[in-house]
Chain A
Amino acid sequence: MTAQEVWVLVEHRQQRVADITFELLGLGREVAQALQAPLKAVLLGHQARDLASALGAADAVLYMDHPALTEVTPEAYARALKPLLQERRPRLMVIGLTNFTLGLGPYLACELQWPFVNFCKGMHVEDGSVVITCLLYGGKMEAEVELPAEPGLIGVMPGASPADKGRDERFPLVEEVLSPPGLEQQAVQFLRYIQPEAADVDITTQEVLVSVGRGIQNQENIALAEELAQALGGAVCASRPVIDQGWLPLSRQVGKSGMTVKPKLYLALGISGAPEHVEGMKNAGLIIAINTDLRAPIFNVAHYGIVADVLEVLPALIEAIRGKKGG
Chain B
Amino acid sequence: MNTLVLLRMVPDLVEELEVDASSKALDRQWLRLVLNEVDDHALEEALLLKERHGGSVTVLALDAPEVDDALYAAAAKGADRVVKITHSLDGVGTWTLAQLLAQVVSAFSYDLILTGVQAVDDLDGVLAPMLAARLCLPYLGPVTAVRADPAARTATVERELAGGIKGEYRLPLPCVLGIQAAEKPLRYVTVSRVRQMMKTTHIEKMPAPKVATDSPVTVRRLYKPEVAGRAEMLEGTPQEVAQKLVAILAERGVL
- List residues of chain A with CB under 8 Å of any chain B CB: 71, 73-75, 78, 98-100, 102-111, 114-119, 131, 134-148, 152, 155, 187-196, 207-208, 232, 240, 244-246, 250-251, 253, 256-260, 264-265, 272, 285-286, 288-289, 293, 295, 297, 299-308, 312-313, 315-317, 319-321, 323-325
Q: Are A103 and B166 in contact (CB under 8 A)?
A: no
With beta carbons under 8 angstroms apart, the residue of B13, B19, B180, B241 that contacts A308 is: B241
Interface of A is mostly: mixed
CB distance from A106 to the nearest CB of B (A): 3
A105 touches B246 (CB 8 A): no
In the complex with contacts A117-B124, A131-B220, A74-B140 CB distance below 8 A: yes
Stretch in contact with the other chain, from B156-164, B191-199, B203-211: B156-164
Q: Write the chain B residue with the least CB distance to A267.
A: B245
A228–B2 CA distance with the chains assembled, in angstroms: 48
Report B-chain residues with C-beta under 8 Å of the C-beta of A136: 120-123, 222
Enumerate chain B interface residues (CB-CB to A < 8 A).
11, 13-14, 16-17, 19, 26, 94-95, 98, 117, 120-126, 128-130, 132-134, 138-142, 156, 158-172, 175, 178, 180-181, 185, 215-225, 227-228, 230-235, 238-239, 241-243, 245-246, 248-250, 252, 254-255
Closest residue of A by beta carbon distance from B222: A143
Q: Is B242 touching A99 in the complex (CB atoms < 8 A)?
A: no
User: Given A74-B140, A189-B170, A196-B165, is A106 in contact with B14 using a C-beta cutoff of 8 Å?
Assistant: no
Q: How far is A117 from B156 in the complex, measured between Cα atoms in Å? A: 30
Q: Is the CB of A190 within 8 A of B167?
A: yes
Number of A-B contacts (CB under 8 A): 271
Q: With a CB–CB cut-off of 8 A, which chain A residues contact B250?
A: 324
**Residue from B17, B171, B255 in contact with A140 in the complex, judged by beta carbons closer than 8 Å:** B17
Are B126 and A302 within 8 A (Cβ)?
no
Minimum-distance CB pairs A-B, first 9: A106-B125, A196-B164, A110-B133, A115-B216, A305-B231, A103-B129, A316-B242, A320-B242, A316-B238
- B228 touching A300 by the CB < 8 A rule? yes
Question: How far, in whole Å, are A143 and B222 apart by their CA atoms in the complex?
Answer: 4
Residues on the A chain within 8 Å of B129, using CB: 74, 103-107, 110
